[in-house]
Amino acid sequence: MEIWQAILLGLIEGITEYLPISSTGHLIVAQRLMEIGTLRESNKLAADAFAICIQGGAILAVLGLYYKHVIRMIKGVFGKDEEGLRLAIAVIVGFLPAAILGLLLNDWIEAKLFGIWPVITAWILGGIGIIWTVSWRRRNPPRGNGRDILKLAWQSALFIGLLQCIAMWPGTSRSLMTICGGLIVGLSVKAAVEYSFLLGVVTLSAATFKKALWSIEGAGAQYDTWFGGTKLMWDTYGPLPLAAGIIAATISAAFAVKWLVTFLQSHGLQGFGYYRILIGLTVGILILTETL
């Protein structure tokens, strides 16, 4: 992998991770266009690990932008901030369904769903889901502009967490499911987006930790051990592409996060729904015509 390719993948990851358009889907298409991970099975496994580990940049961006919420949650855990404790519980409860199902279904998902056609299907269905959610919200508006993030009950967080599990299907978008879930339970647009970001920090951290530290079966005996994912990436690409990808993801995610909050408050989600349907149909046609 060339440095420019790592930077491009980092930019794609950072821009798309928190937008409801699926970072995984865009990375799969980008890797396909650049023919990354297509030569040998070990290369594919290394490319998959790389795509997940550069999520570390997106995590750093949210931690930097929303450090005040993070500090309040830490204080809440130590009994010094009641609303911070409520938010911490909401984030933990929202994460648990994905943590449990992720451990149970991860191997099956990677074997069966990490392909271009499952992504295309998820893009289109997710777009339809966004348009439905916007329509439902208009018919069932919350009181005022919706609840603040610090008022999110654990029961509502659990509902959002269950919806997040659907995003294990590549191309669905974790942000899509959590933002829509937040709107359905009555959060304001700003609160739904912020909760999606904070829940994403925990979810993405767990996924990155697993991929970087756990064994990578099928890539050779030397990688079927602790730190197998990191070793496979190091041997395949070297450390510089990973560093470049994480830096690019951090910078681009910071800009994307700030932009998304402002955009959604002014324009809503429906534009992303039409985008998902359009890109799904476009990529599908390109595949069928053997252009991509």
The 3-state DSSP class for residue 256 equals helix
Q: Provide the residue count of the chain.
A: 292
Write down the mean pLDDT value for the chain: 87
The string of pLDDT tens digits covering residues 230-284 is 777 788 888 899 899 999 999 999 999 999 988 988 888 899 999 999 999 999 9
Q: Which residues pair with 147 in a beta bridge?
A: 187
Report whether pLDDT(67) > 70: yes
pLDDT band at 212 (very low <50, low <70, confident <90, very high): low
Q: What is the pLDDT of residue 156?
A: 95
Q: What are phi and psi of 57, to 5 degrees?
A: -65, -40
Residue 107: what are its φ and ψ, rounded to 5°? Answer: -65, -40
Residue 25 vs residues 95, 115, 122: alpha-carbon distances, Å: 22, 9, 9
pLDDT range class, residue 222, cuts 50, 70, 90: low
How far, in Å, are 51, 100, 210 from residue 165 at the CA level?
A: 19, 10, 17
Is residue 40 very low, low, confident or very high in pLDDT (cuts 50, 70, 90)? low
In angstroms, how far is the first alpha carbon of the chain from the final one?
20
The answer to whether 113 and 169 have CB atoms below 8 angstroms apart is: yes
Model pTM score: 0.85
The Cα 136–Cα 142 span in angstroms is 11
Q: Residue 39: is it exposed, middle or buried by C-beta count within 10 angstroms (0-12/13-18/19+)?
A: exposed
In terms of Cβ atoms closer than 10 Å to its own Cβ (0-12, 13-18, 19+), residue 160 is buried
Report which secondary-structure segment, H or E, holds 98: helix 82-112
Question: Structurally, how many domains does the chain consist of?
Answer: 1
Give Dmax (Cα) for the chain: 60
Structure tokens at 238: 């070297």
Would you say residue 145 has pLDDT above 80? Answer: no
Nearest residue to 160 (alpha-carbon basis) of 137, 186, 139: 186
Owning domain of residue 138: 3-288
